[in-house]
Chain A
């Protein structure tokens, strides 16, 4: 029957569309990341590694605020050594964060950074950061974790304050699971 063939073809197309949209839901995950990467909308597209900045802009200073956040179940002490700094754009700066593991067990943590306003994120150049690596600490041990950064002199003039926030996550369980598989230190740990 012509009618039935037509219906069958339509149903197959519609069902395929539903399956494709299910896939699209998952495709939104990488799309979201690419979109944020290109536009810098989520304050996470930093420049990392050695900076190629020669000149220092001494005509203005930028205030940098450091914020630390512990999620609810993270027992570490975690704070910046300096809460705020004033820096000239283009000037290399070194600071450090203090972390202590007060528990009786060995733990691993990972700091995840975020910059506000997000517009400033691409201009905050982290030469070296403790957040590039996982931080293991023995029971009761403490450490100073260095951060070397430079602000790009191209930073738009209307930005006078940048907030750099670190959330410190407990990855001890994850580490135990993935230690043997040499997982990449960043990104979706076990995806």
Chain B
């Protein structure tokens, strides 16, 4: 890691080139400033998180009791589909891109992103993608209802009319992600401050560099697969239509060739965030920095050869099942290295438990639980029992909610004082943490049990024996959902008022971003700092 010994030539507010932001709406529409764009990404992601969260609460309200109470099954399916799409593409991914925009230039000592205009463009097409997607809720036939994995021919032959809008939306958000990824790679590879060698880069920057390569490799494949769907629906081709010689299983192969790297796109930046926060509050250097870098790189490489573990039950031959089973289990090795290193960083550190650290520790514990249920699912013969049950739902929510989402919250609390210039309200942060922690576990832990007992996923009604655990999960979901209002209130309060934060903010914080004043000036590192 960078030992930061910097002189600060960059704080020169009287320089005529260091103008502040433009005024009014134009500032946000035309901005090319990485901090403005980062803020917009984060606010957009928070809005999507709330919309997707409302959908999740509709799902949990319906599942509170067996029988059909609140919504029609078709609307229920629209909710599960839209919840998944919005959370994956609208909440988690833009949040990480927002964090990257804010933090990567500041972590590597660059004045801005490499391609500021493209940065503006890649953000501003995103709200339109989601307007298109959300507008499908009000179309005749309703929104997409075929699950976020949109398996063909369910999403082609049997889909509602609005599927075309869904495809268009996916194209736009894919373009946004690819542009964002190109920008991030160009920034990291070309704009590092003198002395900031690759192996001195902060872990968050490292994980994003690797994530950006994953994005460039697989988002075009997603665009390809939805294009094939479009052609099947409107232009009479038969990519996935068996009647015309196509193959529905081909859809699953192409989709998961995108889909599995996609899940690492949603977790590698989280690994980076946690690797920043734990050393700060353990007041020790990150244990095994280079092994962390190699672990992330090997996870990224392995993610391309494990996709068929999502489709063990399609009738693959034994050789295929065995290969994908062992390849998947191999991923546990670098992941284990990371968890070991986080624990070793904390070991005999002088730890304090501020809000970001609480979220980071919860991440390590709960993500590991999600990782272990993933290992259970990787066992091909056992997967036939677990496939398409709530056990899968429990697994991926454990890696995404207390995994990706908790890491984003940890990052927000960790860097918020740098963004707003105000110290955190620790009491409110802790209230938010404990409510979320308890809520998440009440929601998702019982899903393991109903899943193992055979409750299928994506159903609006279920057999009586699952009733108790489902009502528990619903109660937890409402606790978790409403506790996010504390988060929002806390952020708004922090922007408006609060004790003035120092440049260092956290006692144990190291890295270039902590050398600039809080709040970070509109332009930072216009003259590159020197890193020793």
Residues of A within 8 A of B (CB): 3, 6-7, 10-11, 14-15, 17-26, 28-29, 32, 39, 41-43, 71, 110, 112, 116-119, 167, 169-171, 174, 177, 186-191
Contact = CB atoms under 8 A, between A and B. Distances in A.
Interface in B238-280: 238-239, 242-247, 249-250, 253-254, 257-258
Nearest to B215: A18
A114 to B, nearest CB: 9
A11 B114 CA distance: 10
Nearest to A10: B186
B313 interface: no
B317 interface: yes
Given A22-B224, A190-B237, A15 B245 contact: no
B257 A28 contact: yes
Given A6-B190, A32-B253, A167 B242 contact: yes
Given A174-B244, A191-B244, 13 more contacts: A3-B190, A14-B182, A17-B217, A25-B222, A25-B257, A39-B317, A41-B317, A41-B320, A112-B243, A119-B317, A169-B242, A174-B236, A188-B245
Contact of B223 (A6, A22, A71, A118): A22
Given A29-B250, A71-B243, A177-B236, A21 B221 contact: yes
Interface of B: 114-115, 178, 181-182, 185-186, 189-191, 216-225, 227-228, 236-239, 242-247, 249-250, 253-254, 257-258, 315-317, 320
A56 B239 CA distance: 40
13 contacts: A7-B190, A10-B189, A11-B182, A14-B185, A21-B218, A21-B220, A22-B220, A23-B224, A32-B247, A174-B236, A174-B243, A188-B244, A188-B246
A171 B238 CA distance: 12
Instruction: Give the secondary structure class of B's interface.
Output: helix
Nearest to A190: B236
Contact of B216 (A14, A32, A116): A14
Instruction: Give the secondary structure class of A's interface.
Output: helix
B216 A21 contact: yes
Given A3-B190, A177-B236, A32 B242 contact: no
A20 B247 CA distance: 23
A186 B244 CA distance: 8
Contact of A11 (B115, B217, B225, B257): B115
Most buried by B among A11, A117, A190: A11
Given A7-B186, A18-B182, A187 B245 contact: yes
B497 to A, nearest CB: 41
Given A7-B114, A22-B224, A26-B224, A32 B244 contact: no
Given A41-B317, A71-B243, A188-B244, A19 B253 contact: no
Contact of A25 (B114, B224, B246, B320): B224
Contacts of A177: 236
Given A14-B216, A116-B315, A167-B242, A32 B185 contact: no
A18 B239 contact: no
Nearest to A112: B242
Contacts of B114: 7, 11
A190 B244 contact: yes
A191 B317 contact: no
A25 B220 contact: yes
Contacts of B224: 22-26, 28
A19 B224 CA distance: 10
